[in-house]
Copies of this chain bind each other. A is one copy, B any other.
Amino acid sequence: MTKATRSEVQVGELATGQALTVPLFTFQGESCEAPSVYIQANVHGAEVQGNAVIYQLMQMLEGYDIVGDIKLIPLANPLGINQKSGEFTLGRFDPITGVNWNREYYDHDVDIADWYQQHQHLDNQALIASFKSLLLASCQARLNNAWGISTGHRLAVTLQSMAHQADIVLDLHTGPKSCKHLYCPEYDMAAAKFFSIPYTLVIPKEFGGAMDEAAFCPWWQLADVAKQSGRALALDHGVPVSAFTLELASQERIDLADAKEDALGILAYLSHRGVIKNKVQPADMPRYGCYLAHYRKFYAPQSGMVEYTAKLGEPLVAGEPLVHLLRVEDYGSDNALLPVSLPQDCIPILHFASASVHQGTELYKVMTEVFEL
Protein backbone atom coordinates (compact mmCIF):
# COMPACT_ATOMS: atom_id res chain seq x y z
CA MET A 1 0.00 0.00 0.00
CA THR A 2 1.36 3.39 -1.06
CA LYS A 3 0.45 6.48 0.92
CA ALA A 4 0.77 9.98 -0.41
CA THR A 5 3.19 12.24 1.40
CA ARG A 6 1.98 15.66 2.42
CA SER A 7 3.73 18.99 2.13
CA GLU A 8 2.65 22.60 2.03
CA VAL A 9 3.01 25.20 -0.65
CA GLN A 10 2.81 28.89 0.20
CA VAL A 11 0.66 30.86 -2.22
CA GLY A 12 0.39 34.21 -0.47
CA GLU A 13 0.08 36.03 2.82
CA LEU A 14 -3.02 37.36 4.57
CA ALA A 15 -3.37 40.90 5.90
CA THR A 16 -2.96 39.49 9.41
CA GLY A 17 0.42 38.04 8.45
CA GLN A 18 -0.55 34.38 8.28
CA ALA A 19 0.84 32.47 5.33
CA LEU A 20 -1.74 31.33 2.79
CA THR A 21 -0.84 27.72 2.12
CA VAL A 22 -2.23 24.82 0.16
CA PRO A 23 -1.69 21.14 0.93
CA LEU A 24 0.25 19.17 -1.68
CA PHE A 25 -0.03 15.36 -1.72
CA THR A 26 2.48 13.33 -3.69
CA PHE A 27 2.44 9.72 -4.80
CA GLN A 28 5.93 8.82 -5.97
CA GLY A 29 5.79 6.69 -9.13
CA GLU A 30 8.10 3.76 -9.80
CA SER A 31 9.41 5.13 -13.07
CA CYS A 32 10.38 8.56 -14.24
CA GLU A 33 9.61 7.40 -17.80
CA ALA A 34 5.91 7.26 -17.12
CA PRO A 35 3.80 10.40 -17.50
CA SER A 36 3.50 12.52 -14.40
CA VAL A 37 0.22 13.97 -13.22
CA TYR A 38 -0.94 17.18 -11.54
CA ILE A 39 -4.49 17.42 -10.19
CA GLN A 40 -5.95 20.40 -8.39
CA ALA A 41 -9.40 21.21 -7.03
CA ASN A 42 -11.43 24.09 -5.63
CA VAL A 43 -9.78 27.08 -7.30
CA HIS A 44 -13.28 28.55 -7.27
CA GLY A 45 -14.30 28.65 -3.63
CA ALA A 46 -17.77 27.15 -3.88
CA GLU A 47 -16.72 24.31 -6.18
CA VAL A 48 -15.88 21.83 -3.47
CA GLN A 49 -16.73 18.45 -4.98
CA GLY A 50 -13.24 18.10 -6.50
CA ASN A 51 -11.86 17.80 -2.97
CA ALA A 52 -14.05 14.75 -2.43
CA VAL A 53 -12.84 13.34 -5.76
CA ILE A 54 -9.22 13.87 -4.73
CA TYR A 55 -9.98 12.22 -1.39
CA GLN A 56 -11.53 9.16 -3.06
CA LEU A 57 -8.75 9.06 -5.62
CA MET A 58 -6.06 9.07 -2.94
CA GLN A 59 -7.89 6.34 -1.02
CA MET A 60 -8.05 4.18 -4.14
CA LEU A 61 -4.53 4.94 -5.35
CA GLU A 62 -3.24 3.36 -2.15
CA GLY A 63 -4.24 0.01 -3.66
CA TYR A 64 -2.75 0.51 -7.13
CA ASP A 65 0.71 0.14 -8.67
CA ILE A 66 1.71 3.69 -9.35
CA VAL A 67 4.19 4.17 -12.16
CA GLY A 68 4.16 7.92 -12.79
CA ASP A 69 4.38 10.63 -10.17
CA ILE A 70 1.02 12.01 -9.09
CA LYS A 71 0.69 15.35 -7.32
CA LEU A 72 -2.66 16.47 -5.93
CA ILE A 73 -3.70 19.83 -4.51
CA PRO A 74 -7.15 19.96 -2.98
CA LEU A 75 -8.43 23.24 -1.49
CA ALA A 76 -6.23 25.07 -3.97
CA ASN A 77 -7.55 28.56 -3.24
CA PRO A 78 -7.79 29.19 0.50
CA LEU A 79 -8.76 32.88 0.09
CA GLY A 80 -11.63 31.94 -2.21
CA ILE A 81 -12.82 29.00 -0.12
CA ASN A 82 -12.82 30.89 3.17
CA GLN A 83 -14.61 33.94 1.77
CA LYS A 84 -18.25 33.61 2.72
CA SER A 85 -20.94 36.12 1.95
CA GLY A 86 -24.10 35.18 3.71
CA GLU A 87 -24.73 31.47 3.65
CA PHE A 88 -22.77 30.83 0.48
CA THR A 89 -19.16 30.91 -0.59
CA LEU A 90 -18.21 33.99 -2.60
CA GLY A 91 -15.31 32.30 -4.25
CA ARG A 92 -15.54 32.87 -7.97
CA PHE A 93 -13.53 36.06 -8.10
CA ASP A 94 -11.14 38.06 -5.98
CA PRO A 95 -13.44 40.07 -3.69
CA ILE A 96 -11.16 43.08 -3.99
CA THR A 97 -10.68 43.24 -7.76
CA GLY A 98 -13.49 41.14 -9.18
CA VAL A 99 -11.03 39.12 -11.26
CA ASN A 100 -12.08 35.50 -11.81
CA TRP A 101 -9.59 33.27 -9.98
CA ASN A 102 -9.50 31.00 -13.04
CA ARG A 103 -8.48 33.78 -15.44
CA GLU A 104 -5.25 34.68 -13.66
CA TYR A 105 -2.87 32.13 -15.17
CA TYR A 106 0.16 33.40 -16.99
CA ASP A 107 0.42 33.74 -20.74
CA HIS A 108 4.15 33.30 -21.12
CA ASP A 109 5.67 36.09 -23.07
CA VAL A 110 7.71 33.75 -25.27
CA ASP A 111 8.29 33.74 -29.02
CA ILE A 112 7.81 30.00 -29.49
CA ALA A 113 8.73 29.92 -33.17
CA ASP A 114 11.98 31.66 -32.41
CA TRP A 115 12.69 29.40 -29.46
CA TYR A 116 12.05 26.31 -31.60
CA GLN A 117 14.42 27.66 -34.24
CA GLN A 118 17.16 27.77 -31.66
CA HIS A 119 16.43 24.40 -30.06
CA GLN A 120 15.34 22.19 -32.93
CA HIS A 121 18.65 20.39 -32.92
CA LEU A 122 17.65 18.70 -29.67
CA ASP A 123 15.95 15.32 -29.73
CA ASN A 124 12.34 15.13 -28.59
CA GLN A 125 13.12 14.26 -24.99
CA ALA A 126 15.71 16.99 -24.61
CA LEU A 127 13.57 19.52 -26.46
CA ILE A 128 10.62 18.82 -24.19
CA ALA A 129 12.79 19.02 -21.06
CA SER A 130 14.25 22.29 -22.24
CA PHE A 131 10.86 23.82 -23.03
CA LYS A 132 9.57 22.71 -19.64
CA SER A 133 12.52 24.50 -18.00
CA LEU A 134 11.72 27.58 -20.01
CA LEU A 135 8.12 27.63 -18.76
CA LEU A 136 9.22 27.06 -15.17
CA ALA A 137 11.85 29.79 -15.34
CA SER A 138 9.31 32.13 -16.86
CA CYS A 139 6.89 31.47 -13.97
CA GLN A 140 9.68 32.04 -11.49
CA ALA A 141 10.64 35.35 -13.08
CA ARG A 142 7.02 36.40 -12.99
CA LEU A 143 6.74 35.62 -9.27
CA ASN A 144 9.86 37.69 -8.62
CA ASN A 145 8.73 40.76 -10.55
CA ALA A 146 10.25 43.86 -8.94
CA TRP A 147 6.96 45.75 -8.96
CA GLY A 148 5.13 42.79 -7.43
CA ILE A 149 2.24 40.78 -8.81
CA SER A 150 -1.39 40.62 -7.79
CA THR A 151 -2.74 38.24 -5.16
CA GLY A 152 -4.64 36.15 -7.67
CA HIS A 153 -1.81 36.08 -10.15
CA ARG A 154 0.60 34.90 -7.43
CA LEU A 155 -1.74 32.05 -6.54
CA ALA A 156 -2.24 31.13 -10.19
CA VAL A 157 1.41 31.25 -11.21
CA THR A 158 2.45 29.24 -8.16
CA LEU A 159 -0.08 26.54 -9.07
CA GLN A 160 0.93 26.80 -12.72
CA SER A 161 4.56 26.14 -11.78
CA MET A 162 3.51 22.81 -10.38
CA ALA A 163 1.27 22.04 -13.33
CA HIS A 164 4.10 22.74 -15.81
CA GLN A 165 6.13 19.96 -14.19
CA ALA A 166 3.50 17.38 -15.15
CA ASP A 167 2.52 15.71 -18.43
CA ILE A 168 -1.13 15.43 -17.47
CA VAL A 169 -3.02 18.26 -15.80
CA LEU A 170 -6.54 17.96 -14.38
CA ASP A 171 -8.33 20.97 -12.96
CA LEU A 172 -11.43 19.98 -11.00
CA HIS A 173 -14.28 22.47 -11.06
CA THR A 174 -18.06 22.45 -10.97
CA GLY A 175 -20.75 24.58 -12.55
CA PRO A 176 -23.26 26.61 -10.50
CA LYS A 177 -26.21 24.20 -10.94
CA SER A 178 -24.80 21.87 -13.52
CA CYS A 179 -24.56 18.43 -15.05
CA LYS A 180 -21.09 16.99 -15.52
CA HIS A 181 -19.08 18.19 -18.46
CA LEU A 182 -15.49 18.25 -19.61
CA TYR A 183 -13.39 20.96 -21.26
CA CYS A 184 -11.16 19.09 -23.69
CA PRO A 185 -8.69 20.57 -26.19
CA GLU A 186 -9.48 19.58 -29.74
CA TYR A 187 -6.28 17.61 -30.23
CA ASP A 188 -7.09 15.38 -27.28
CA MET A 189 -10.69 14.44 -28.05
CA ALA A 190 -9.95 10.73 -27.76
CA ALA A 191 -9.30 11.23 -24.04
CA ALA A 192 -12.92 12.26 -23.41
CA LYS A 193 -14.16 8.68 -23.52
CA PHE A 194 -12.31 7.71 -20.32
CA PHE A 195 -13.80 10.14 -17.82
CA SER A 196 -17.20 9.46 -16.19
CA ILE A 197 -18.59 12.53 -17.87
CA PRO A 198 -21.36 12.54 -20.49
CA TYR A 199 -20.75 15.96 -22.13
CA THR A 200 -17.56 17.33 -23.60
CA LEU A 201 -16.77 20.82 -24.78
CA VAL A 202 -14.16 20.77 -27.49
CA ILE A 203 -11.98 23.84 -27.08
CA PRO A 204 -9.55 25.57 -29.43
CA LYS A 205 -6.01 26.78 -28.89
CA GLU A 206 -6.86 30.19 -27.48
CA PHE A 207 -5.62 31.34 -24.12
CA GLY A 208 -8.31 32.91 -21.99
CA GLY A 209 -6.53 32.72 -18.66
CA ALA A 210 -7.69 29.32 -17.36
CA MET A 211 -5.45 26.59 -15.96
CA ASP A 212 -6.11 24.00 -18.66
CA GLU A 213 -5.25 26.50 -21.39
CA ALA A 214 -2.19 27.68 -19.47
CA ALA A 215 -1.03 24.07 -19.36
CA PHE A 216 -1.66 23.04 -22.95
CA CYS A 217 -1.42 26.26 -25.01
CA PRO A 218 2.37 26.64 -25.11
CA TRP A 219 2.80 22.95 -25.92
CA TRP A 220 0.11 23.01 -28.60
CA GLN A 221 1.83 25.98 -30.20
CA LEU A 222 5.21 24.28 -29.95
CA ALA A 223 3.76 21.12 -31.52
CA ASP A 224 2.30 23.20 -34.34
CA VAL A 225 5.65 24.84 -35.04
CA ALA A 226 7.39 21.47 -35.00
CA LYS A 227 4.74 19.99 -37.27
CA GLN A 228 5.41 22.72 -39.81
CA SER A 229 8.94 21.35 -40.07
CA GLY A 230 7.42 17.87 -40.34
CA ARG A 231 8.29 16.82 -36.83
CA ALA A 232 6.03 15.17 -34.23
CA LEU A 233 6.95 15.87 -30.63
CA ALA A 234 4.73 13.15 -29.21
CA LEU A 235 2.65 10.18 -30.27
CA ASP A 236 -0.83 10.60 -31.62
CA HIS A 237 -1.59 14.27 -31.79
CA GLY A 238 1.95 15.45 -31.26
CA VAL A 239 1.24 17.60 -28.20
CA PRO A 240 3.36 16.41 -25.27
CA VAL A 241 1.01 17.68 -22.55
CA SER A 242 -2.63 16.84 -21.84
CA ALA A 243 -4.81 19.17 -19.80
CA PHE A 244 -8.50 19.06 -18.99
CA THR A 245 -11.02 20.86 -16.85
CA LEU A 246 -13.58 18.55 -15.29
CA GLU A 247 -16.85 20.17 -14.26
CA LEU A 248 -18.19 17.79 -11.64
CA ALA A 249 -21.87 18.79 -11.41
CA SER A 250 -23.01 21.57 -9.02
CA GLN A 251 -21.16 23.82 -6.61
CA GLU A 252 -21.82 23.83 -2.82
CA ARG A 253 -22.23 20.05 -2.88
CA ILE A 254 -20.20 17.19 -1.41
CA ASP A 255 -21.30 13.72 -2.49
CA LEU A 256 -18.77 11.06 -1.57
CA ALA A 257 -20.39 8.26 -3.54
CA ASP A 258 -20.54 10.34 -6.69
CA ALA A 259 -16.97 11.46 -6.08
CA LYS A 260 -15.95 7.81 -6.28
CA GLU A 261 -17.50 7.58 -9.76
CA ASP A 262 -15.45 10.50 -10.94
CA ALA A 263 -12.32 9.20 -9.25
CA LEU A 264 -12.83 5.95 -11.19
CA GLY A 265 -13.15 7.91 -14.43
CA ILE A 266 -9.86 9.64 -13.71
CA LEU A 267 -8.26 6.30 -12.86
CA ALA A 268 -9.50 4.90 -16.17
CA TYR A 269 -7.72 7.73 -17.97
CA LEU A 270 -4.55 7.37 -15.90
CA SER A 271 -4.62 3.63 -16.53
CA HIS A 272 -4.92 4.24 -20.26
CA ARG A 273 -1.99 6.65 -20.09
CA GLY A 274 0.14 4.18 -18.14
CA VAL A 275 0.36 6.24 -14.99
CA ILE A 276 -0.89 3.26 -13.02
CA LYS A 277 -0.04 -0.28 -13.97
CA ASN A 278 -3.50 -1.68 -13.20
CA LYS A 279 -6.25 -1.80 -15.80
CA VAL A 280 -9.25 0.37 -14.98
CA GLN A 281 -12.13 0.34 -17.46
CA PRO A 282 -13.97 3.56 -18.24
CA ALA A 283 -17.65 3.68 -17.33
CA ASP A 284 -19.94 2.36 -20.04
CA MET A 285 -22.05 5.39 -20.91
CA PRO A 286 -22.98 7.48 -23.95
CA ARG A 287 -20.79 10.55 -24.39
CA TYR A 288 -21.47 13.65 -26.44
CA GLY A 289 -19.44 16.55 -27.74
CA CYS A 290 -20.01 20.16 -28.68
CA TYR A 291 -17.61 22.70 -30.11
CA LEU A 292 -17.05 25.73 -27.90
CA ALA A 293 -18.41 27.97 -30.66
CA HIS A 294 -21.75 26.18 -30.29
CA TYR A 295 -21.87 26.47 -26.53
CA ARG A 296 -24.29 29.33 -26.02
CA LYS A 297 -25.02 31.61 -23.10
CA PHE A 298 -28.57 32.78 -22.57
CA TYR A 299 -29.20 35.95 -20.57
CA ALA A 300 -32.44 36.70 -18.76
CA PRO A 301 -34.56 38.72 -21.21
CA GLN A 302 -36.49 40.24 -18.29
CA SER A 303 -36.09 40.16 -14.54
CA GLY A 304 -38.11 37.99 -12.18
CA MET A 305 -38.34 34.89 -10.03
CA VAL A 306 -37.17 31.80 -11.90
CA GLU A 307 -38.63 28.32 -11.95
CA TYR A 308 -35.97 26.27 -13.70
CA THR A 309 -38.03 23.75 -15.62
CA ALA A 310 -35.68 22.26 -18.22
CA LYS A 311 -33.67 19.32 -16.87
CA LEU A 312 -29.91 19.67 -17.05
CA GLY A 313 -28.27 17.18 -19.39
CA GLU A 314 -31.49 16.35 -21.21
CA PRO A 315 -32.30 17.45 -24.77
CA LEU A 316 -34.66 20.39 -25.05
CA VAL A 317 -36.55 21.08 -28.25
CA ALA A 318 -36.65 24.66 -29.58
CA GLY A 319 -39.67 26.48 -28.22
CA GLU A 320 -40.08 24.21 -25.18
CA PRO A 321 -39.93 26.11 -21.88
CA LEU A 322 -36.51 26.51 -20.36
CA VAL A 323 -37.77 28.46 -17.35
CA HIS A 324 -40.90 30.10 -16.08
CA LEU A 325 -40.32 33.69 -15.15
CA LEU A 326 -42.66 34.71 -12.36
CA ARG A 327 -43.28 38.45 -12.17
CA VAL A 328 -45.86 38.48 -9.45
CA GLU A 329 -45.82 42.29 -9.33
CA ASP A 330 -47.39 42.11 -12.80
CA TYR A 331 -50.28 39.96 -11.54
CA GLY A 332 -53.32 40.70 -13.64
CA SER A 333 -51.33 41.20 -16.84
CA ASP A 334 -50.07 38.60 -19.34
CA ASN A 335 -46.61 39.34 -18.12
CA ALA A 336 -47.09 37.77 -14.68
CA LEU A 337 -45.93 34.29 -15.60
CA LEU A 338 -43.73 34.04 -18.68
CA PRO A 339 -42.54 30.83 -20.22
CA VAL A 340 -39.09 31.42 -21.71
CA SER A 341 -37.75 29.21 -24.46
CA LEU A 342 -34.84 29.12 -26.89
CA PRO A 343 -34.96 29.43 -30.68
CA GLN A 344 -32.81 26.32 -31.18
CA ASP A 345 -32.64 22.70 -30.03
CA CYS A 346 -30.14 22.32 -27.25
CA ILE A 347 -28.95 20.45 -24.19
CA PRO A 348 -29.00 22.69 -21.11
CA ILE A 349 -25.72 22.12 -19.28
CA LEU A 350 -25.88 24.54 -16.39
CA HIS A 351 -28.02 27.30 -14.99
CA PHE A 352 -27.71 30.22 -12.58
CA ALA A 353 -27.65 29.31 -8.90
CA SER A 354 -30.20 31.78 -7.60
CA ALA A 355 -33.95 31.74 -8.23
CA SER A 356 -34.28 35.46 -8.76
CA VAL A 357 -32.57 37.39 -11.53
CA HIS A 358 -32.03 40.88 -12.81
CA GLN A 359 -32.49 41.45 -16.52
CA GLY A 360 -29.31 40.25 -18.18
CA THR A 361 -28.27 37.65 -15.60
CA GLU A 362 -26.59 34.71 -17.33
CA LEU A 363 -29.42 32.24 -16.95
CA TYR A 364 -28.25 29.15 -18.84
CA LYS A 365 -25.41 27.70 -20.79
CA VAL A 366 -26.56 25.21 -23.39
CA MET A 367 -24.88 22.98 -25.94
CA THR A 368 -26.16 23.18 -29.49
CA GLU A 369 -25.18 21.08 -32.50
CA VAL A 370 -24.23 18.22 -30.19
CA PHE A 371 -22.64 15.11 -31.69
CA GLU A 372 -21.85 11.67 -30.39
CA LEU A 373 -18.24 11.14 -29.40
Contacts and interface: CB of A to CB of B under 8 A. Distances in A.
Interface of A: 3-4, 6, 12-18, 20-21, 23, 25, 45-46, 48, 51-52, 54-55, 58, 74-75, 78-79, 81-100, 146-154, 176, 252-256, 296-308, 324, 326-332, 336-337, 343, 352-363
A219 B31 CA distance: 61
A48 B354 CA distance: 10
11 contacts: A12-B360, A17-B75, A25-B331, A46-B354, A52-B305, A75-B329, A87-B88, A150-B299, A152-B360, A153-B360, A253-B355
Contact of A13 (B25, B55, B100, B303): B303
Given A46-B355, A75-B329, 20 more contacts: A13-B302, A16-B75, A25-B331, A46-B356, A48-B356, A51-B328, A52-B326, A55-B336, A85-B88, A86-B95, A92-B98, A146-B343, A147-B297, A147-B299, A150-B361, A152-B360, A252-B353, A254-B307, A256-B307, A256-B326
A148 B296 CA distance: 11
Contact of A331 (B58, B299, B362): B58
Interface centre among A18, A20, A84, A94 (most CB of B within 10 A): A84
B96 A84 contact: yes
Contacts of A74: 328-329
Contact of A361 (B151, B255, B328): B151
Contact of A87 (B149, B256, B336, B354): B354
Contact of A358 (B151, B252, B332, B352): B151
Contact of A96 (B54, B86, B97, B327): B86
Contacts of A305: 15, 48, 51-52, 254
A301 B88 contact: no
Contacts of A152: 360
B149 A299 contact: yes
A14 B253 CA distance: 18
A81 B18 CA distance: 12
Contacts of A150: 299, 360-362
Contacts of A3: 332
Contacts of A360: 12, 148-154
B16 A88 contact: no
Given A48-B305, A51-B305, A355-B252, A148 B88 contact: no
A358 B13 contact: yes
B87 A96 contact: yes
Contacts of A92: 86-87, 98
